[in-house]
Amino acid sequence: AQTVTQSQPEMSVQEAETVTLSCTYDTSESDYYLFWYKQPPSRQMILVIRQEAYKQQNATENRFSVNFQKAAKSFSLKISDSQLGDAAMYFCAYNWYSGGSNYKLTFGKGTLLTVNP
C-alpha cells in the first residue's frame, strides 16, 4: 500500500531564513509523481511543486525546491528566503495509478509551518 509520512507535525522559521520540510513515502511502483501542497488559513489547497519519479533533476519553483532521493523514497521541500505568506500547513502527496481510469492522491498528515518576523 502507498503510504506517505511527514515526521514533523510543526516547524518554525525566521523570516528570510531557509527551512526544510521532510517527507518519506512507500511504494512498489517505478513511475509516479510527488506533490507538495500548501494550505493557508483560508483552507484553499494550492499546488507548490511537483516531481516526476523518473526525473533525476530536482524540481524548483522560485523559492521552493525539492530534494528527491528515489532510492531512499524521500521527498523534502526547501523554502528559501521564507516570507510571512509562507505560513501554512504543507502536505506531501503521492500520485498513483490504481487501475482503469483511476488516479489517486495519498496525502501525508501535514506539517504546520510558522514564520516568525
Chain centroid to Cα 113, Å, comes to 12
94 pairs with which residues across the strands? 34, 106
Q: How many residues does the chain have?
A: 117
| Rounded least distance, CB 105 to other proteins, Å | 6
What's the one-letter identity of residue 86?
D
Per rule CB under 8 A, is residue 91 in the interface with other proteins? Answer: yes
Residue 50: CB minimum distance to other proteins, A: 7
Determine if 75 is a binding residue for other proteins (CB under 8 A): no
Per CB under 8 A, 33 contacts other proteins = yes
**Which three three-digit cell numbers place residue 115?**
514564520
Which amino acid does the sequence have at 20?
T
Binding segment (CB under 8 A) for other proteins, from list 17-25, 59-67, 72-80, 102-110 = 102-110
Alpha-carbon distance of 86 to 117, in angstroms, equals 12
Q: What is the DSSP letter of 62?
A: T
- Taking CB under 8 A as the binding criterion, the range among 20-28, 37-45, 57-65, 68-76 that sits at the site for other proteins is 37-45
Interface positions with other proteins (CB under 8 A): 4, 6, 9, 31-33, 35, 42-45, 47, 50, 52, 91, 95-97, 100-105, 107-110
